[in-house]
Amino acid sequence: MQYPEPIAKLIDSYLKLPGIGEKTATRLAFFTIDMDENDVATFASSLVSAKKDLHYCSICGNITENDPCVICVDKTRDQSQIIVVEQVKDVMALEKMREYHGLYHVLHGVLSPIEGKGPEDINITSLVKRLQQNETVKEVILATNATPEGEATAMYISRLLKPAGIKTTRLAHGLSVGSDIEYADEMTLFKAVEGRQEI
């Protein structure tokens, strides 16, 4: 069945979102049509505002309304630590924990030769410049994902920073709290054994 053009365009728009297939896009389009007109206007306005009013922090690469971002200008945060993450959403996840009080650096991706992504395609150069200009940083915590690309990126950054004499650490990997050993994959078990701690 051919949908009227406005519905077809709306479905196509939803299909551009990650993880949204044809059925979900169609369901969302019809849900949107059934929404109150004011709610649709607010939704559309939110989309435009998010795209227009947000940009990346010139220091850390986090998403922000004001440059520098609120984390970078907060002098109560520990200026001696920087956690390096792949994406902005990783900053949000770590902030929810409320236990880390240092600074961040967002790479906006990882090294991936298969996808043609090299060091110049992600936010590594600004990290090196940032560390050269800031002598208060004593530790860089590499918090890239435990994927082959994440591991390669962490290894690359650690090699870059080694001559500077800055302590470089990696987030621990292994069994998640509440999980059973019998259901863990080999790599998770290997990382858990490798990262064991004395109690």
CATH 3.40.1360.10 residue ranges of the chain are 76-170
Please state the length of the chain: 199
**55-56 and 63-64 beta bridge pairing:** antiparallel
Q: Which fold has domain 76-170?
A: Dna Topoisomerase Vi A Subunit; Chain: A, domain 2 (3.40.1360)
CB atoms within 10 A of CB 93: 11
Run means of pLDDT, 10 residues per run, the chain, 199 residues: 91 96 96 96 95 96 96 96 96 92 96 91 94 91 91 94 90 79 79 74
CATH 1.10.8.420 residue ranges of the chain are 5-53
First to last CA, the chain: 65
CATH tag, 5-53: 1.10.8.420
pLDDT in the model for residue 198 = 67
Q: Which pTM value belongs to this model?
A: 0.82
